[in-house]
Amino acid sequence: MKELNEEIRHKINDWLSGNYDKETKKVIQEALDRKAYEELTDAFYKDLEFGTGGLRGIMGVGSNRVNKYTFGRATQGLSNYLKSTYPDQSIKVVIAHDNRNRSIELAQLTADVFSANGIYVYFFDGLRPTPELSFAIRELGCQSGVMLTASHNPKEYNGYKAYGADGGQLVEPHDAKVMEEVRKVNSIDDVRFDGNSALIERIGVEMDELYLSAIMRESMDRAVIKRQKDLKIVFSPIHGTGGVLVPKLLNRLGFDNVTLVEEQMKVDGDFPTVVYPNPEEKEALTMSLNTARAIQADLVLATDPDADRVGIAIPDDRGEMVLMDGNQTAVLLFGYVLGAWKRAGRLDGNQYIVKTIVTTNLLEKIAEDMDVHCYNTLTGFKHIGAIMTQLEGKRRFVVGGEESYGYLIGEHARDKDAVVSCGIIAEMTAYYKDQGMSVYEALMETYVKYGFYKEALISLVKKGKSGAEEIQSMMERYRDNPPVSLGGSAVVEVKDYLNQISRDLLLETEGTIALPKSNVLQFITADGSIVSARPSGTEPKIKFYCSVNAPVSCRADIEKTSRLLEDKIDRIKSDLGL
């Protein structure tokens, strides 16, 4: 890039002449002197915006970077929104953070801005899981909360998740209204950085106890845990917040044989033992799997940095540890929880589960078999939380989840919760062992009963301004010219969630999608395959979710069927030009 465009140069000049600190200005000037125009363009070409996971980006200098100024503007905008939304109330918020580099100072800055605006702040005294923040908002009767985390992103990232009074992440129209307030903060001089310590209260152990007590109530079979208390469990927080509470929970539930991956128990924002702190990645669980093989473990649990997502591994028929993907874990967890409710006589037709539109439809079949309603919603757990809030007091929520390894059991929070998930997954493993079978065998039996479902996620990374434009172009191309067939089967329905239109290609009819607008396309084929295309709201990626299925009459059919479905997914990728 030979030069900066006028708009970006104007933004840079605003930062150089504005009320920003000397170090920030020095970094910008050095980049200008080096003629690092591509770097500066990426740092200034837009402002960070709320996506499915809030505000998230690379730490550094610029309007498109995570720093005290972008977080300051966001907090000032959120403060303005809260004060206009609750004009006659004493406003209270909760702030928590994970182990990310700079999270402590950015959390303190967030507390300062809130308090400078006359808002009372409950500030956790150390790193805590995201779901505990959600719980605390509800427990303390707050109007909002903020979690400082970049979830599973690389170490260069940090983020800012904003929550509403229900304990869920902001959804429409509130997220848009907050961003409108943020946009109105035209100058950094409009941000009140000078905090009021009298309005900041530290919280910690007492809230931990309330949160753990709420989770303990979700346990459905303490007797089976007592009989299987020696279950061999390996746990890793991958250097994050899971280490604060998951070992305590497993101990309180009665599991006596928990092996911690000590190297990853160390709180460290550089994540020195992994490439990415993401339980979706096999590499991130390498140490856990090695430990599990050494002790012949029954279960591996690994949480992401803010402990809202969990990855698991279990022994297969040969005793080899195998990783479950997010859909498989959901199938196991939903099946166990609904089964436990049924065995206890708690299902009366008023219960429901929630999943996202890109999560396996096998969950629907399990729910239907149990006479439990299944709601489908947009990607992002905030939409699951919104349904829970809408139905609170009307129907009973049992379990919710999404394919990206996030699940919630119980109504104590409005966000995915790896802490309670770890507890119930451990209980599930104990239950099946008590029945003389493995979790793997339980999954195979589920496939025989309901059909074999296989999912694949293809992610294409497209960084920077040019990458964002390329992703937009790809979506426009698929929207204007949807595929005629995928994997050898005709496309019979196209769902456009941005335009909220569902088109039946066989009947040549159109229907309305009763969900908020979202830039997602779904292609459904005659044989029941589903492909969803969606730009990520938190990463520079476009994602393609493929789901294919086929019936199996016995366990012996599964391996062959799996290979056939893998071939079908490969053909689908080819048909999409991926």
CA 247/CA 229 separation, integer angstroms: 14
271: left (phi over 0), alpha (psi -120 to 50) or beta: left
Nearest to 161 by CA among 279, 46, 52: 52
Is residue 69 within 8 Å of residue 188, measured between CB atoms? Answer: yes
Q: What is the pLDDT of residue 462?
A: 87
CA 408/CA 419 separation, integer angstroms: 9
CA 276/CA 148 separation, integer angstroms: 18
Candidates 151, 219, 236, 547; catalytic one: 151
pTM, two decimal places: 0.94
For the segment(s) 211-219+230-450, the CATH number from 3.40.50.2300, 3.40.630.10, 3.40.120.10, 1.20.1250.20 is 3.40.120.10
Return the domain boundaries, the chain: 46-203, 211-219+230-450, 452-575
Asked whether the domain spanning 452-575 has the same topology as the one spanning 211-219+230-450, the reply is no
- Which residues are paired to 542 by β-bridges? 460, 535
- Burial, 251: exposed, middle or buried (Cβ in 10 Å; 0-12, 13-18, 19+)? exposed
User: Mutual orientation of helices 6-17 and 22-33 as an angle, nearest 10°?
Assistant: 140
Residue 36: how many CB atoms within 10 A of its CB?
Answer: 14
Active-site annotation holds for 529: no
CA 5/CA 46 separation, integer angstroms: 13
* CB neighbour list of residue 218: distance below 8 Å, 6 or more residues apart: 409, 410, 412, 420, 423, 424
Q: What is the pLDDT of residue 53?
A: 59
- Please give the average pLDDT of every successive group of 10 residues along the chain, which has 578 residues: 86 94 96 93 86 79 95 95 96 98 97 98 98 98 97 93 96 88 92 98 98 98 98 98 98 98 98 96 97 98 98 97 98 98 97 98 97 96 96 97 97 98 98 98 98 95 86 94 96 97 94 94 97 85 96 95 97 94
Is residue 359 within 8 Å of residue 338, measured between CB atoms? Answer: no
Residues in the chain: 578
Q: What is the pLDDT of residue 51?
A: 57
* CB neighbour list of residue 76: distance below 8 Å, 6 or more residues apart: 113, 117, 182, 185, 190, 191, 192
Q: Assess whether the previous peptide bond of 305 is cis (omega < 30° from 0).
A: no
Is residue 431 within 8 Å of residue 358, measured between CB atoms? Answer: no
Q: Assess whether the previous peptide bond of 315 is cis (omega < 30° from 0).
A: no
Is residue 302 within 8 Å of residue 288, measured between CB atoms? Answer: yes
Q: What is the pLDDT of residue 508?
A: 92
CATH code assigned to 452-575: 3.30.310
CA 417/CA 307 separation, integer angstroms: 7
Sign of CA dihedral 278, 283, 287, 289: positive
Indicate the DSSP class of residue 284.
G
Please give the structure tokens belonging to residue 478. Answer: 């698929």
For residue 201, the surrounding DSSP H or E stretch is: strand 200-203
Look at the domain 46-203 and name its fold: Alpha-D-Glucose-1,6-Bisphosphate; Chain A, domain 3 (3.40.120)
